[in-house]
Amino acid sequence: MASSSSRIEQTSTDHSSLYEAIKSGDIDSLKQLLVITAPKSDEFDVDNPLLRQNHFNNNSLHVAVQLSETETLVKEIFKQCGSSKSLEMLMQQNMNGDTPLHIAVRMGSEEIVRLFLNHAGRDYQAIDHYNQRGDEECVHIDVEKGVTMTELLPEAENGATKMNVEQLVRIANKMNNTALHEAIRYQAESRIPQLLIRADPGFDYLANDSGETPLYLAVSFGTSTLVEHILKIRPTQSYGAPGGRTVLHALALQRSFSNSSFEGNNYSNIVHLLRHIVKEVDINGRTALHYAVHSRNSEFVDAVMEVDPSVCYISDKDGMTALHHAAAADVGPSSITESQGIKEIMKIMLRHCMDCWGVVDNRGDNFLHIAAQNNNSYVLEFVLKEINLDLAVNAIIGTKNKYGRTPAQINTEFFKILDSNARMRGIWRSRSSAYGISFKSYETPLNKQSEKYRKAAERTEAEEAAEIKEVNKMKSEQMEYYNQTLLVVSALIATVAFAANFTLPGGYNDHGPDEGMALLADKPSFIVFIVSNSLAMVLSALAILIQFVGKIISIILREPDEFKKGTLLFMTLHCNVLAILAMMVAFVTGNYTVLSHLPGLAIPVCILGSVFFILSFFLIYKILKWVKQDDVNWHKG
């Protein structure tokens, strides 16, 4: 036991010293700690602290990457541990499944990442030189000519080094994130992602536990250059995204973010590279085109329509196409810029696919029906201005849904626009019967509304006065009913309190000098009983007095205003509520006074009585909350 304890303390001391040496970056201190100056052989040495793992399964490389920014220290660790053992350490995963490469990527240490890749694929200095050139022309040549890392390796070691590099790069942590996932999420602007992609250009990276592929992360966190780089090196790269979506869905939403680096040409290039998935839909049946409409991304819409105009015909689970969603867009009454953006999107779709307006949803609505339901009159104005073919305009306007209604029958504002439009007035009136559009169907509700306003204007002052008098009479009767109810409650409480005051708990003393005095008068609970019962009596009597005074005031003033009546009513209500609470206190303390010699019975009875207070305070809280909410709604109204 003593030997084991001593060894644990020694190991802890070694780890502490090792961390200090690594953190300081002092190689001499590290050598002194190891008491070794020559490189280790490939044999495992249990006494070498660099080969041990701490409580979190971090080895010395994990620690070196986290605590030191210099690659010199990492090189020294490689040197001290030997070639095979250092490669084994490079592949080791900690408790989170992270290799030293994962951590180096997160820290943004490009030199250490390159060092790890070079060490995994030893003796390919040509590749290291290739990566360090760093000019954009070099990247372009690599993409166009298909030059890969393994093609530059020496022939003798090509197979082994390729295997080591691929194994290192493909290791996933417990969240199923590879080093490339981490690099794109945290270091998308650096050259680290490109280093990792070239290290294993033939691997199709799968999604992590959150459904994120490297390509999706590149769209969400990276730049258009990185996305194009990934697709050109590996065109078949996995394109999945969370929620059953694709990277194109994510790309369509980039216009919504102010820090997005994607522009018109970028969209065109990327959509062209991903043209095979433009018709892919999410769990709701929506394509990336639906998403682009939502984010007002006209450049993406144009890029998709250039690649495959038939995407315009694809409907979601509700039967709505992207054109339907454009017509349903909520742009606000004063947002001219947003409405212009929607018009531009519809113009692009109709330019590439002229007859897409004919698609109807599950309820038989075309896009103009949807616009009418959402009161988007600018969509109708767009149709009248941008669609030159009268036959097409008439067909759009005259289409009936499953309920037999046209867009103008849904929204009378649309009818007014059509009726006032110089182009449509003659044509639409002459063909209204052919398309099932009857002016009578619009005139009838409009006439009814006009008649309603006319009758309202013709009402006499006498009728208005009679109506006001009837309303006031109803209010007065209602208030009188409340007053009577409260008066009955007050009388009952006063009766009970008065009776309890002369039938005291425990009774009276029958003999001796204290004859006629309460037997339990010295008990604290009895004192509380007397006080609370007296308070209930006083409050209930006060409530009765308020009601009595209110009657006198109504006689003297003849027509007291509603404010005074309401004030007296609320005063009575408050007195009654407090009297009820005081009466319940008297009830609980009275029970306890006569049962205090039996705790097993007295305590449960008191607890049951106390439940009343919990419920009453909860009820009062809810009522106050309702009153406050009603007041807020009234002010909003």
Name the residue with higher pLDDT: 546 or 13.
Answer: 546
Provide mean pLDDT across the span 508-528.
Answer: 76
pLDDT recorded at residue 57 = 86
Question: For the segment 426-482, what is each residue's pLDDT rounded down to a tens digit?
Answer: 555 555 444 444 434 444 444 444 454 445 445 555 566 677 777 777 877 777 887
Residue 573 pLDDT > 80: yes
Encode burial over 278-301: b for 16+ CB neighbours within 10 A, e otherwise.
bbbbbeeebbbbbbbbbbbbbbbb
Q: How remote is the C-alpha of 116 from its chain's centroid?
A: 39
Contact partners, residue 63, CB within 8 Å, separation at least 6: 18, 19, 22, 54
pLDDT of residue 14: 53
Residue percentage of the chain with pLDDT more than 70: 73
- pLDDT band at residue 77 under the 50/70/90 scheme: confident
306-329 average pLDDT score = 92
Residue 125 pLDDT > 80: no
Give me the architecture of the 8-37+48-125+164-238 domain, per CATH: Alpha Horseshoe (1.25)
CB 319 within 8 A of CB 361: yes
The percentage of residues in the chain with a pLDDT greater than 90, rounded to a whole number, is 16
What residue spans define the domains of the chain?
A: 8-37+48-125+164-238, 493-597
pLDDT score at 100: 93
Averaged confidence pLDDT in the chain: 76
Q: What are the beta bridge partners of residue 518?
A: 508
The whole-number average pLDDT for the span 530-557 is 83
Between these two residues, 410 and 433, which has the higher pLDDT value? 410
Weakest mean pLDDT among 14-18, 351-355, 451-455, 489-493: 451-455
* Cβ–Cβ under 8 Å, residues 219 and 254: yes
Mean pLDDT across the stretch 150-172? 64
**Which pLDDT score is estimated for 22?**
64
Q: What is the mean pLDDT of residues 545-566?
A: 72
Q: Which is more confidently placed, 48 or 157? A: 48
Q: What is the pLDDT of residue 488?
A: 87
**What is the sign of the dihedral through the CA atoms of 272, 273, 276 and 278?**
negative
**Contact in structure between 264 and 223 (CB atoms under 8 Å):** no
Residue 81 tokens, joined: 């541990």
- Over residues 590-614, the mean pLDDT reads 83
The per-residue pLDDT for 6 is 43
For residue 528, pLDDT over 90 is answered with no
- Mean pLDDT score, 591-600: 82
pLDDT for res 43: 45
Most confident residue range from 44-53, 385-394, 395-404, 565-574:
395-404
Report for 2-6, 202-206, 420-424: range of highest mean pLDDT: 202-206
Place 145 in a pLDDT band, splitting at 50, 70 and 90.
very low
Give the model's pLDDT for residue 128.
44
Residue 146 pLDDT greater than 50, yes or no: no
| The pLDDT of residue 28 | 60
Q: Which amino acid is at 423?
A: R
Q: Look at residue 302 and tell me whether its pLDDT is greater than 70.
A: yes
- Say yes or no to pLDDT of 343 above 80: yes
What global pTM score does this model have? 0.56
Could you count the other beta carbons within 10 Å of the beta carbon of residue 379? Answer: 26
Q: Mean pLDDT across the stretch 400-409?
A: 87
CB 313 within 8 A of CB 354: no
Least confident of 48-62, 437-451, 597-611: 437-451
What integer pLDDT is reported at residue 234 of this predicted model?
83
What whole-number distance in Å separates Cα of residue 200 and Cα of residue 462? 91
* Mean local confidence (pLDDT), 371-388: 87
List, as one string, the DSSP characters of 420-447: H-HHHHHHHHHHTTTTT--HHHHHHHHH
